[in-house]
Chains A and B, each alone.
Chain A
């Protein structure tokens, strides 16, 4: 046990002394998470709307007046539909609204009234959300016409604030990548420097060395997580935490161990740091994509859905979302904990045996 603590503290010291690594870890846990959270905006924002109005105003202007900051910039008027579509072709305008001359007449006489909508759909994410926004505006505009009240609640995140979601997702990806790369580098560096041989010739059981070394990297990442939570997640983005903080930390700890297993595997098959980088990316990219970080698992292709059952990241991400946003009780978190634990144990044992065999 004393030896274990000794190795862990030595690894922490080594880590702190290698400025490059410290900078990468600090950058990833703070700036990177921040950039992702603040830079990636899926809600419409500052959308340029152009319109052609042949009705002479009235209802059309009332509708246009509902398009306001920050989602939309003040709508720009175009004289003809041709001018409007040219502007869309040149990507100066993203949405065009065309009010035909019979629009108002139809509306007032109880017929179906159409607004023609021209949408530049090349701006992937934003076109869709913009469309939904416009639809909602029009629905809200006429909902007083019906004896219906749609009482909508966006649970857990009333403003549908995207920053917190993306920042959190990015943090989870960072945890995954870093724990794999850090663990792999610690072992590969010893391989490169030849210090591993010296370690093996000491009476210390190699298993303790492997355990202690990977544990030390888990600690580094956990510290990074705390840092990121404090400064970025809670600090800059004010992400709500509806569940238990300790449940999250415990889940993160188990998850880090499972990823450390992947790191051990990577270290076992790589000769140098360069290969570690290549291999980690090739292994981790599909894992991150299959995890549901970008698209919920149930919306994926069935083959990917099955595959994602084997990704510990999937359970980790779902579990984390539940803890943070849904505030799920501890008892209902068991699927995530057991998923991470089972896959984690298997992965770690595999990596452990793989690297143990080498030496």
Chain B
């Protein structure tokens, strides 16, 4: 019999279904992976197993069966739960050392020598030994997640439940987190349930469950799962119907007459979408109303620096953005990506450095006034007015850009069709999936037909398919409008769609080159993540 058995779990919230009909088994020392988009049901299942939410169905841990949070009390001494959200369980004003003391105490761990040794070991593994006195609120995202993890490990749980511990964390910290998990399961025989948004991490899991819309759509080992879709994966071709293309591959249920390609795990979502006939609307972008002359170099900046008190958020960063170029700004959380974009946009004053935007040297806010109609911006979390419908939002933004009402209405209609959010026009943004909000934020930024587009983490939290479609939009925009795009992301795999990539680490630029050149200089790299890691480690 397995150590953990989960039978037919169902969780429903007021308005929607969390997860339905979920079952799984796990044995001592196994790492079980949950993969799926936001809202696919991963967290609901994890919360049920951890006994922190009401659920239907049964969980049996080590012979103890429970059906409600109340009954789950008896297994809580053996469980460790790390919920989703960077540093969610941490108290901003407490130091690293105080956290360890606190978590040991609330778990009633005896503080003997053995505990001290274990604590030291965890601190060392997490690379936090030097930061014992630092307040949690002042740690980087990666450090926060490592601290949360070791706090969860202090009482040596036998069942460890980790909800997206690596999301938004820099690749190096992510590697370190996985190393900690690996050694823990070996040494302690812990069952680890872990969810992730990064497909690459699947290779480290013993068993994988794929989630979509409150259902487990597939399960098995990494290899089994990849093999299961092998027949549907082809090299990228242009095909008209019942197929999807993404990341140099085309997925189709009907046989195509092209070479097959090596499938990846994310292909499962495409195949699933095809099977469910959830075909995406074709993205079409029409040419601009009027062609506009765009200078060959859209933006140039030298030695851009931003300081917050004693902390330097951006340290002498140079950047150049050419006409019709997609430039990716990559870096971990806290590397200074958002600050950098905000300085370029004039939302933060530039402390030091020189900026030329559309051939105009920017000295003061007034210099930007005439440029504002040529720049589009989509911010992190899609800043929209949540109490107005999609249509009202768009009309409002159009008005702010002083676009004549008739033109504005025509364009809104056009984008709604082209970007495929027509049926959501009269809904409030809060009621819509993230992917739809993302597309309509882009539409809002495009209303005044800008020459440059700044996108701050537009893809985080959005599911694989919506992301694929989003990149499709950007590609078409570039082709049709000759627009320049500066985009930040923490998905390393998305670097592949950029023309050029700029790597930031702790506010400094550590690399800046075209994708082709990166691969040329790193012939061994299998993916861009590998390249990124070599740079990150080098600078360390």
Contacts and interface: CB of A to CB of B under 8 A. Distances in A.
A203 B377 CA distance: 13
A342 B275 CA distance: 71
Given A198-B379, A203-B369, A3 B402 contact: yes
A197 B388 contact: no
Contacts of A3: 399-400, 402
Contacts of B375: 201
Contacts of B397: 198, 202
Interface string A206-229: 000000000000000000000000
A200 interface: yes
B401 A202 contact: yes
A283 B444 CA distance: 39
A10 B383 CA distance: 16
A346 interface: no
Interface string B368-380: 0100110101011
Contact of B342 (A17, A197, A198): A197
Most buried by A among B373, B381, B402, B444: B402
Given A13-B392, A194-B379, A194-B380, A199 B385 contact: no
B253 interface: no
B387 interface: yes
Contacts of B203: none
A359 B349 CA distance: 9
Contact of A197 (B347, B369, B373, B386): B347
Contact of B372 (A6, A18, A197, A201): A201
Interface string B95-128: 0000000000000000000000000000000000
A114 interface: no
Most buried by B among A6, A13, A198: A198
Given A3-B400, A13-B392, A198 B383 contact: yes
Nearest to A359: B347
Contacts of A204: 400, 402
A332 interface: no
A2 B400 CA distance: 10
B229 interface: no
B345 interface: yes
Given A10-B396, A14-B388, A17-B388, A203 B383 contact: no
A204 B398 CA distance: 11
B485 interface: no
A125 interface: no
A194 B379 CA distance: 8
Contacts of A194: 379-381, 383
A195 B387 CA distance: 12
Interface in A156-209: 193-195, 197-204
Interface string A134-152: 0000000000000000000
A197 B399 contact: no
A10 B369 CA distance: 23
Given A194-B379, A197-B379, A198-B383, A203 B401 contact: yes
A198 B377 contact: yes
A197 B392 contact: no
Most buried by A among B373, B392, B400: B400
B384 interface: yes
B380 A201 contact: no
Contacts of B387: 13-14, 17-18
Contacts of B377: 197-198, 201
A97 to B, nearest CB: 62
Interface string B64-103: 0000000000000000000000000000000000000000
A204 B388 CA distance: 20
Contacts of B342: 197
A14 B429 CA distance: 13
A203 B379 contact: no
B402 A203 contact: yes
Contacts of A17: 387-388
Contacts of A14: 385, 387-388
Nearest to B379: A194
A195 B385 contact: yes
B506 to A, nearest CB: 24
A202 B383 contact: no
Contact of B386 (A6, A193, A203): A193
Contacts of A201: 345-347, 372, 375, 377
Contacts of B402: 3, 203-204
A217 B472 CA distance: 42
B372 A202 contact: yes
Contacts of A359: 347
Nearest to A19: B387
A193 B383 CA distance: 6
Contacts of B381: 194
Contacts of B385: 10, 14, 193, 195
Nearest to B381: A194
Nearest to A14: B387
A99 to B, nearest CB: 68
Interface string A276-295: 00000000000000000000
A6 B342 CA distance: 26
Interface in B265-318: none
Given A10-B396, A194-B379, A198-B397, A203 B388 contact: no
B29 to A, nearest CB: 44
A225 to B, nearest CB: 24
Given A197-B342, A197-B383, A202 B388 contact: no
Nearest to B396: A10
Most buried by B among A194, A201, A359: A201
Contact of A203 (B347, B372, B380, B384): B372
Contacts of B346: 200-201
Most buried by B among A17, A199, A203: A203
Contacts of A10: 385, 388, 392, 396
Interface in A1-58: 2-3, 6, 10, 13-14, 17-18
Given A2-B399, A198-B383, 12 more contacts: A3-B400, A6-B400, A13-B388, A14-B388, A194-B379, A194-B383, A197-B342, A198-B377, A201-B345, A202-B401, A203-B401, A203-B402
Interface of B: 342, 345-347, 369, 372-373, 375, 377, 379-381, 383-388, 392, 396-397, 399-402, 444
12 contacts: A10-B388, A13-B392, A14-B387, A193-B383, A195-B385, A197-B377, A197-B379, A198-B444, A201-B347, A201-B375, A202-B400, A359-B347
Considering the complex of A and B, which 10 residue pairs feature the smallest CB-CB distances, nearest first? Answer: A194-B383, A202-B400, A17-B387, A203-B372, A195-B383, A14-B387, A6-B399, A194-B379, A201-B377, A197-B347
